[in-house]
Amino acid sequence: MTEKGVSHRRRSRRRRRARIRRALLASLVVGSLVLLGVGWVGFRGWQARAHLMNAAGLARELSADVVAGDVDRAQRTLAALQEQSAKARSATGDPGWWLGEHAPWAGDDLNAVRQISVAIDELARGAFPSLLRTDLASLVPRGGRLDLGRLTAVSGELTAADRVVREVRARLAAVPQESLVSQIREALGALSTEMDRLAELTGAADRGAKLLPPLLGADGPRSYLLLSQNLAELRATGGMFGAYAVIRAEGGRIRMVEQGTSAKIGRFVPPLEVPAQTRALWNDLPGMYPADVNLTPHFPTAAALYREMYRRRGGSAVDGVLAVDPVMLSYLLKAIGTVSVPGGPALTGDHAVRTLLSDAYRDLDEEEQDGYFAAAAAAVFDALFTRNVDPRTLLSAFDRSITEGRVLFWSARPEEQRMLDDSRLTGTLPEKDAVPTVGVYLNDGSGAKLGYYVRPAATLTVGDCRTDGRRELRLRFTLHSTAPASGLSKSVLGLGRSGDPYTIRTLVSVYSPTGGTVVDGRLDGEQIGLGSGYDRRRQIAVANVEVPPGRTRTLDVGLLTGKTSAGAAELRTTPTATPWTTQVVTAPSCEQ
């Protein structure tokens, strides 16, 4: 080989070694940057986690401060919460974190953490300050009236808070969860659940502040029927509508102008017109007897029927119907204190349920019972609107009552009824399920007043996903009787339609999710026939369950949902004198 050729080969080798060194150097630089980026994102993630944990603790403190009515402390807690939420948002908002969000594998997790940080910060800055500025005293009566001017002023703050809550809730709902690591998916799920609850509260408060002025006569006098649900004789919405009162509202001032009983309204022959699907299940009973209008759990149907019955018996065409029960009264009594009742024992928060649903039947004859129930309603009503009550305690009692379905309202004005939407206050199942919703409703079949002794429980279990896009559900319902085997008065035992007057006969209606079906039913392990019908795209199965004193019966029902991938479910039930024991057993989403 010539000297020129050797020299060329040497230059070529040097060029190759230089390219290799440059490639190695570039790889080292890129690798170092990647490692540095990973380390930086990890460091910032550690910071974000610490700030988010601090924010969660401060949010709990803020809730406690608000409940306790300590406004100054709540303001300090909110300032600390805002500081921690801002730092969490900052830690997840720099360019390094943005690049990490677009990287494979960990990108979805980093984006989810970012969204959680943003959500908490926006709540701390956009929603919580408005809620703290709300004057809760404007939401409760003083001296027999509500200050409609102050209530209108509060409405703006509540609307602003509700808007932020709903925007944050929507963004969180849009975050994909399927590929997230379990810890982040659980944190996002927990926050989403809390957001659902917060949105329900702010939405209800916003609608209430907008609706209450016209409902309470800001634009002219209004009148309403106040119905007392007697939980001793169960109906699907709670209890038989026994006593009623007419209340009149004008300029925020409320007064009771008339009282009566369903028995005095009497029977209707021919019956009032009833929706076809309701009539298919209960024949003409809801259109014949005021005490049977709420065999259906759909409160707007029951309220409209009762309003028309009252009008046809000489009453006025009222603007709406409000229903309450003795348990709700017990919650209010714990806020307003003991109330004296002419002609009978005083009512207290701890003993009102027993006094109204047990002792009154033991100690008073039927005529005295009607008088006592009417006097009790008037006394509690008067105390509610004339005593000075702590607004937080009173609003907490109303919130609990609404959540448990113990206070229901229907407006005869469609535009107002639409504003209530799917609130629990309306006494309706959702027209379209956010998650599969099952209803379990109880109607007395004994013709007796044994509902005080009923102890219901239910477990709803989410089952397998099916190839047709539906999901299996399994409901286990148990009904226990604490009734004695002897010693009850004739007014309690009533008609004794089960044969043994101490055996509780209950007609249990199970409502499928929207678009779903009821598959089968077993009572104490034995296959049984189920009465069937439909109501607003839900299939209904009805079972007769008879429970002797001290016994427990178990009803198992298989159901299918409509098309859904959700692993969660919801259970709605008839409010009873003793709250249900319920459990919903969830499962992973069908998409996971």
260: which 2 tokens? 């009566």
Question: Any idea where the domains of the chain sit in the sequence?
Answer: 28-215, 222-417, 430-585
Query: pLDDT at position 181, please?
Result: 67
Query: pLDDT at position 574, please?
Result: 98
In whole numbers, what is the pLDDT of the chain averaged over residues? 83
Contact between 88 and 52 (Cβ < 8 Å): yes
C-beta pairs of 418-423 under 8 Å, 24+ apart in sequence? 419/207, 419/210, 419/211, 420/207, 420/211, 421/203, 421/207, 423/200, 423/203, 423/204, 423/207
User: pLDDT tens for residues 394-437?
Assistant: 877 888 898 899 999 999 999 999 988 778 899 999 988 989 99
Which residue in 546, 472, 559 sits closest to 511, CA to CA? 559
Find the length of the chain.
592
Query: pLDDT at position 89, please?
Result: 78
Computed on alpha carbons and rounded to an integer, the radius of gyration of the chain in Å comes to 31
Identify the segments of the chain with pLDDT beneath 70: 1-57, 60, 62-69, 93-107, 109, 135-139, 179-181, 184, 592
Q: Architecture of domain 430-585 in CATH?
A: Sandwich (2.60)
183: which 2 tokens? 């810890």
User: pLDDT tens for residues 212-253?
Assistant: 888 888 889 999 999 999 999 999 999 999 889 999 999 888
Question: How many Cβ atoms from other residues are within 10 Å of residue 12's Cβ?
Answer: 10
349: which 2 tokens? 């928060």
Say how far apart CA 242 and CA 228 lie, in whole Å.
6
pTM of full prediction above 0.75: yes
551: which 2 tokens? 């016994």
Question: How many Cβ atoms from other residues are within 10 Å of residue 402's Cβ?
Answer: 20
DSSP state of 309: H
Question: How many Cβ atoms from other residues are within 10 Å of residue 178's Cβ?
Answer: 11
Query: At the top level of CATH, which class does the domain 222-417 belong to?
Result: alpha beta
Dump the DSSP string for 413-456: SHHHHHHHTT-GGG----SS-SS-EEEEEEEE-SSSS-GGGEEE
Query: pLDDT at position 38, please?
Result: 36
Say how far apart CA 78 and CA 84 lie, in whole Å.
10
Query: pLDDT at position 142, please?
Result: 73
Question: Where are the strands (E) in 86-154, listed by range?
Answer: none
